[in-house]
Every structure is written in C-alpha cells, then in structure tokens.
Amino acid sequence: MDYLAGLNPQQRAAVENTQGPAMIVAGAGSGKTRVITYRVAHLIEKGVDAFNILVLTFTNKASKDMRERISKVVGTEAKNLWMGTFHSVFAKILRVEAEKIGYPSNFTIYDTDDSKSLIRAILREMQLDDKLYNANFVYNRISSAKNNLVSHVEYINSAEIQAEDVSNKRPMLGAIYETYTKRCFKAGAMDFDDLLFKTNVLLKNNPDVLNKYQQKFKYLMVDEYQDTNFSQYTIVKKLAAAYQNICVVGDDAQSIYGFRGANIQNILNFEKDYPDLKVYKLEQNYRSTQNIVEVANSIIANNKNQLEKNVFSDNESGDRIKVSRAFTDNEEGKIVAESIMQDRTSNGLSYSDFAILYRTNAQSRAMEEALRKLNVPYKIYGGLSFYQRKEIKDLIAYFRLTFNPSDEEAIKRVINYPRRGLGDTTVDKIIVAADQHDITMWEVICDPQKYIAGRIANQLNDFSMLIKSFAAESKKLDAYETALYIAQHSGILKELHIDESVEGRSRYENIQELLNGIKEFAEREDIEDRSLAIFMQDIALLTNDDRADEKDKETVSLMTIHSAKGLEFKNVYVVGLEENLFPSQMSLNSRTDLEEERRLFYVAITRAEKKLTLTYATSRYRWGTLTNCEPSRFISEINAKYLELEVVKAPKTSIDSDSFDGERRSWSQQRDSFSKPKPAGQSSGSTIANRPKPTVLPTAHIPTPGFTPDAAASFQNGMEVEHEKFGFGKIVNLEGNLPDVKATVFFQGLGNKQLLLKFAKLRIVK
C-alpha cells in the first residue's frame, strides 16, 4: 500500500524526515496517530530494525492501536517494536536489570490502593494523627517527590523541604517516606512511580546499562509529550543522548495533567535541549466543523504560555454552538436529556453519538436522573475498574503471593480470607516479629513456632503450605490452569458460590470473568510468554484510560473531561460551565492553574465533531444549600458570532447572536470581578435569599454501576460518599473507635443521618 499518498504536505514531511531531533505539534483532530504510525512504518520500510525503535505512549490502548496500524503496512515486523506505556516498557527493563538495584526480578507492582494501605499501616505504627497525615495526602506527597526524582534521603536532607513540612505542621513526612520506601523494598515491591524512579536510578548508577539501551533504542518516539513529568523527561533525554533520533509528538493546548505532575515546560522548552530541532505543525483539523474549531481557537488564544499554531478546518461551517442556561442543575439535566432525545430522533443518530462531559464526577447525578426519566440508556466512564473490585483484588492477591510471597500487602489482604482463624491480632503479631528480627512477614509465617507463641502456629503453617503449593503448581501449569487451581484451593470460589445473594452471585460471576480473561490470554499466539506472572504484570499496568469498549452503540457516554481526552463524538454537551466549578475554584489563585483549566475546556470543545452544546445553571445545590451561580468566564471568551444563546423559560425562547451582545456584556462585567481576590471566608456563590426553596421529594437511589462498599477504616471527615439507598453525601463527623465508628453523613434532600460504618455500606467517591 502507498501509505504516504493519503497524507497532507505537513504530515508527509513529519513522516519522511526521520533523522535527528524532531517535534510534531499536533493540533486536535489533525491525524496525529496516523503520522506516528506511518513514521514508524517508514523507518522500518527504510531498513531500520524494528528492535531498535522505541515508541512510548500513555495508554496501553494507544500502543495497541498503533501497533495494529503499523502491522498493516509492514506486516509481522511490527511485533518486534518496543512499544508501550512508559510504565510497561520500563517495568520490562527493570525485570531484566532488577538485581543491579537490589530487587528480585519477580517484584510486585503495587497499585494505588496497595500503596495507601501500606501508608495507613505505617501511620498506625508511628501513632500519627491520620487526619493531619491523611493517607491520600501522604501518598501524593511521596508520589510528587519521586516524580521529581527526590529520594527519601534527599527529602530528609533538604532544609527547604523540611522547613515546608514543619510550617505545614507535618514534620514526620520525611520519616514516613523513608519507612514506606524500606517497606516496599523489603516486600520486593515497587509502586507505579517507582517504575520510573528506579529506572532513573538504574540508568544513573550503571553506565553500562545506560549504554546498552542507548545502543538498542536508536530511534525514540514519544506520544503526548506535553503530559510527561520530570522523571519521564529525564529517562527519555538519557536514552536519546547517543543518537539524538528523538521525535516527540504532542499539543501544548491539551496539557491537562499538571495535578499528576505533568510539566508543560517539557514541550514548550524542547528546543532548548535540541538546538537542531525540526518542528512540524499539524494544523488542519479533520474532526470538527469550522465553527467548533474557531470556538476552540478563540478560547485557547487567551493563554499566554503556548506554542504558536493556527488550527483550521476545511469541513463544513456547521451549526453555531448552543449555550443553554438553566435555573437549577436538575433543570440542566432535563435540558440535556430532552435535547439528546430530540436530536437522536430528528437526525437518525445512535446513542453512542452523544457524550456528556463534566468537570467533576459529582455532576453526573443530575444528568443520570434526567436520562433515566426519559429511559435514555447511558454508561459512566472512569468509575470503579473491574480490577479494583474486592473479589478480583482478593484472588489477584493470591496470584501475587504465588510469585512473590514477600508481598506484605497481599499477605495482609488474604491471610484470613476466606476465614481461617488468622485475624488482625495475629497479623499484628507477625508484623511485630518481622520488625524485631528485621525479616519479612513471610519468613515469620514459614517458621511461626520460632517467632510467635500460641495455638496459631498450625494455622500459619497451613497457610504457608497453601501458598507454596500454588508456587509449585504454577511451574507445571499454564496461566489459566494455575489461576483456576488457586481460585479453587484458596477457597474463594467456594466462598462466593455459597453466597446466594444478588451481590454474591455478581461477585462469583466477576471471578468467572477474570478466569475467562486469563483463559483468553493463555491462548494468545502473538506473545511468547503466556504465564500467569506475565498476565499479572499486564493487569498491574492498566491505566484508568484503558477502556476496552469506548463506545457502546446503545448508550450515551458520561465522563469527566479528563477521561474524554483522545475520544471524539458527533454531539457533545459540556455541562456546568459556572465560575468556581469550571474553572474550578482551586484554579483561581494563579495564572498557571487557570491556563490549565482553559486547556481542559479546549479539550472538551475539540471532542465534538458536528454539534457542541454548552450549559450552565444559575443556581445549584452545594451541600444542602441552594446557591447562586455565575456563568463561567470561559463563555464570555468565545466570539459571540459563533454562539446561539438559549434561555429556558416558560415558554422557551431563543436568542440569536444579534441580541446576544447584552448578555455578553453582562458576562464581561462579571468577569472583571471574578479575577479580584475575595475576602477570606467569603464564598463567591451567595446563598439565595427571599426565595422559597423547591420541595425536594426523596427518590429511590440507583447505585453507581459496580458499587462496592469501602472498609470502615477507610473513611475520614469531609469525604464524599455514596450510600446504596440514600445516594450521595458528605461525612461531616466521625466518632468512636473501630470497629464501632459512627458517622454523621449529610445527604442531599435528606439531611444528616447517623450510620455505623461497619454496617452502612458506604462507597468513597472522593
């Protein structure tokens, strides 16, 4: 096939020029993926060995799609590419080189839940206030340090960092970081951030290893370069140093992950690292109508810190962008749901052509209620992952112990599941013994008579023999046979099979689905190693953005804008465009944060192909109080000639751009006041006074799909939660000690309710 024939001049230039440093600035909808895949194919067609090409992506799905496209051009040679996410590629390298940094090759990869569980255990052992040293905060602090290549030693020895922690009344953060690092090492475990941090350590301390991979990866390509953090930037720079055949692809206007540590300066300052850089700009948008592209351009033009480009579209002009104003968030949901029904019927569209995008997950409630009333099927993305469900994590913990019995988080998870008389008291004794003798929990479990007195020695012996039997069987059986053996002999299958409740059947079916997935993996012919250990590595590296079934033909898609990045839909609704919601109140303190919010809005707009609708409410319930809402400043930044303002009244009226100027002037005046700092303690949304509050009729709450209650020990004051019956609420008070902690939770429309956490079945929303 002549893969170059279908490229425009800018795309073709980016594909054909393969030597030296290059940056491809790819505007939204500009055919970025096509250019990357054809560039790799072109290298192989020119005689470059596929084994010498490294392509780094941010999702497994992106790398899978690219590999499939490349294979259509070069055939089976595409299988020899080193292509995958940063974490998967460098986890693979670390498996090979682990001993050089003191790790076993079968190290466990801790997910976020594992890491936070370990942090909570450390906080208890150090007898620290878990409100001041909140596990989420501590985890993010450690993650930020690692992403900036600050080790626990450097953290403790930094006078500046220590002064900051002292001023924030958290002087023990360094000690927690040190203990966390040592406990992970002792357990033969790395967290997600370690996969990059330890790769940097490996390359820095082992020049021979660095040279080995510099010679191996003679050509590097990095997708979504605007989303890289300092740790990723450093790895790429080191690997590319020998040949400098590095090509980065991205769009600074779509850099929206600053809260994860992404540094937009990596792409803005790329030329400083490579003075001979060639820059290729992909500016033609093939996705959206001209009006949508112009709206996006008018928004992003307000950002000062950006690469210059002129995105355009040769598609049809399309409809003007509708702006709908509702009086309440519930009415906003009704407007969107009715619009979807009308458009689908009038234009012969399917439900999968529609997406509703919002700034925060909490906004989905009003949308869901409105869609359900009209029997519109929908699916929420970015919720609880299949692999985060309790029953799945339980069985996977047994898998982890099979290959790494030193994995302390896995031990604590399943040592007494199913119940075998080894409760929390026993676990505490094991931990104390392990700390006293500077050995692992597994070593204590394997020789309990030596370390722990009492009758539990027999149960511990039985548990250790069980895990050892799993390891022995794994050497004789394939992935599926090993997994089935563990599921049966651990007792999990039996435990769930005898639970005849709806929830129990669902959990049992989930285990069966996991086994089905392993069966499919074991029968794959495109990979050499089909062991359970490799399957475990693959699922440990799944990202939240890896959605196997992005669009269900029979459902409207609901998701946060962050989750929507990389997707496209014919009709898009961006809802909740109000000050302090979008842009977020947290972003109003600095230009850097505000510009990231504006880039997030840009991403939302450019998901739309044919029709874009923006909505906002003039009042919204926030923790039981009806508050006034001001339209987002982002609306006033759009040129009015591209907009059609719809004000929902009785009867409904529509205002075109000719009469829009008055509304626009009002917004402009309000915007001036938005930028002024508010006095401390003053809310920007004033309580609505002298107005009767609407009657709120209790409705039956339909739990979020995949609803799984969290453990009582997980809850903290201020958390947003979901109850199967009462719906969404916020914890306003906790009292008592585990296991009898009582929570006071405020539920919208219901007021405060007191619940015993061990019976309440609450799920943490955030």
List 224, 294, 545, 663, catalytic entry: 224
Q: Is 370 annotated as a binding residue?
A: no
Give dist(CA 209, CA 101) in Å, integer: 11
**Would strands 22-26 and 278-282 be described as parallel, antiparallel, or unpaired?**
parallel
To the query of whether residue 579 is one of the catalytic residues in this protein, the response is no
- Angstrom distances, CA of residue 240 to CA of 18, 84, 216, 677: 14, 17, 11, 45
List 32, 116, 281, 633, catalytic entry: 32
Q: Is 64 annotated as a binding residue?
A: no
To the query of whether residue 32 is one of the catalytic residues in this protein, the response is yes
SS3 call for 244: coil
Beta strands in 30-110 (DSSP E): 53-57, 82-85, 108-110
User: For the stretch 526-545, what's the b/e string if a residue is b when 16 or more beta carbons lie within 10 angstroms of its beta carbon?
Assistant: eeeebbbbebbbebbbbbeb
Other CB atoms within a 10 A radius of the CB of residue 298 amount to 15
List 607, 610, 611, 633, catalytic entry: 607
Q: What's the gap between Cα 52 and its chain centre?
A: 30
- Angstrom distances, CA of residue 278 to CA of 247, 271, 312, 349, 499: 9, 9, 22, 43, 63
- Type of residue at 401: L
Q: Is 29 annotated as a binding residue?
A: yes
- Type of residue at 33: T
**How does DSSP assign 590-635, residue by residue?**
-HHHHHHHHHHHHHHHTTEEEEEEEEEESEEEETTEEEE-PBPHHH
List 85, 108, 254, 606, catalytic entry: 254
Q: What is the Cβ-side half-sphere exposure of residue 380, based on CA atoms within 13 angstroms?
A: 21
**How does DSSP assign 268-335, residue by residue?**
HTHHHH-TT-EEEEE-B-SSS-HHHHHHHHHHHTT-SS------B--S---PPEEEEEESSHHHHHHH
Q: Is 30 annotated as a binding residue?
A: yes
To the query of whether residue 33 is one of the catalytic residues in this protein, the response is yes
To the query of whether residue 400 is one of the catalytic residues in this protein, the response is no
Beta strands in 95-165 (DSSP E): 108-110
> Which residues does residue 356 pair with via DSSP β-bridges, in sequence order?
558, 573
Give dist(CA 692, CA 690) in Å, integer: 7
To the query of whether residue 224 is one of the catalytic residues in this protein, the response is yes
Helices vs strands, H then E, count in the chain: 32, 23
Q: Is 624 annotated as a binding residue?
A: no
Q: Which of 85, 117, 118, 92 is nearest to 107 (CA)?
A: 92
List phi, psi (to 5°) of 738: -60, 140
List 18, 33, 360, 627, catalytic entry: 33
Give dist(CA 152, CA 158) in Å, integer: 10
Pair 379, 385: CB distance under 8 Å: no
Q: What is the Cβ-side half-sphere exposure of residue 85, based on CA atoms within 13 angstroms?
A: 22
To the query of whether residue 232 is one of the catalytic residues in this protein, the response is no
Give dist(CA 4, CA 12) in Å, integer: 7
- Type of residue at 551: K
User: For the stretch 212-234, what's the b/e string if a residue is b when 16 or more beta carbons lie within 10 angstroms of its beta carbon?
Assistant: ebbeebbbbbbbbbbbbbbbbbb
Q: Is 33 annotated as a binding residue?
A: yes
Q: What's the gap between Cα 162 and its chain centre?
A: 30
User: For the stretch 43-78, what's the b/e string if a residue is b when 16 or more beta carbons lie within 10 angstroms of its beta carbon?
Assistant: bbeeebebebbbbbbbbbbbbeebbebbbebbeebb
List 111, 114, 223, 646, catalytic entry: 223
| Known binding-site positions | 26-33
| Known binding-site positions for ATP | 26-33
Catalytic residues: 32-33, 223-224, 254, 607
